[in-house]
Amino acid sequence: MPETRFHAMPDGRRIAFRHSPASGPGSGPAIVFLPGYMSDMAGSKATALLAWAEAERRECLLLDYSGCGESGGDFADGTLARWAEEVLALIEAEVRGEVVLVGSSMGGWLMLLAAQQLGSKLVGLVGIAAAPDFTDWGYDDAQKAQLSNGETLFTENAYGYDPTPTHPGFWSDGQDRRQLESEIAIDCPVRLLHGQEDTDVPPKISLRLAEALRSQDVQVTLIKGGDHRLSRDSDIALLLRTVAALA
């Protein structure tokens, strides 16, 4: 696995990343993985993609958003706009050719925002339980009122002991960057994977996303028994097949 390096943003943020370059001509687009909320590039899906890319001599880029994983900064300062800026800066600095974005959960929202800025470099998207607009459908009215009043919201974390924070800056920025209420100006092929037993992001969100995308080459795959993480061996195998076919 390539060593962790750091990209310096203009304001001094240091963004951790791992980049495996292509080892030969004609190897296809770079695979760029965007992790979910409070996740990082050490997760099972990210590392599986990197290992597959290295075995196939494909280019792959992983990163930790500021305030996450090995990157510097405070998580409380994180927003979709800030993290999209980091994604685009790393792609510009490290990737010369075309790109397939793979976004997990919140990373699936972030990939939509980044995709609309990549122009001709973008050749495909793969969403894994993509969660666009979760600042809207993921909170009730009382929680939204708390966040709009500038209070941090803490909710039960099904994957750890500490509650999950939602900071008002992130929530407000998310509300400004909702995607599902109008056509999304993306025309490349899109593949959306979603577990039917996902209790965090309802499968209908992937169906709404498929409808909103302008692209006519969109496929949604519902996975029986799959939960939000989609990290079983069979789920990872499906992800790798999907990326390989698209890229």
Cα–Cα dist 208/231, whole Å: 23
Question: Which residue among 64, 133, 198, 235 is the active-site one?
Answer: 198
Is 198 an annotated catalytic residue? yes
Q: Which residue has the tokens 């939000």?
A: 228
- The Cα angle at residue 9 between residues 69 and 92, in degrees rounded to 5: 95
Cα dist. 155→76, 147, 150, 159, 161 in Å?
15, 12, 16, 12, 11
**Dihedral angle computed from the Cα positions of residues 44, 49, 50 and 54, in that order, rounded to the nearest 10 degrees:** 140
In DSSP terms, which residues pair with 15 in a beta bridge? Answer: 7
- Active-site residue 105, yes or no? yes
- Cα–Cα distance for residue pair 210/192, rounded to 1 Å: 8
Catalytic residue among 105, 133, 194, 206: 105
Beta pairing partners, 4: none
Give the position of tokens 């300062």: 77
Write down how long the chain is.
Answer: 247
For this structure, is 235 an active site residue?
no
Q: Which of 19, 167, 194, 228 is catalytic?
A: 228
Spatial distance between the Cα atoms of 184 and 90, rounded to a whole number of angstroms? 23
Whole-number Å distance between alpha carbons of 239 and 247: 12
The encoded tokens of residue 69 equal 């994983």
Which residues participate in catalysis according to the annotation?
105, 198, 228
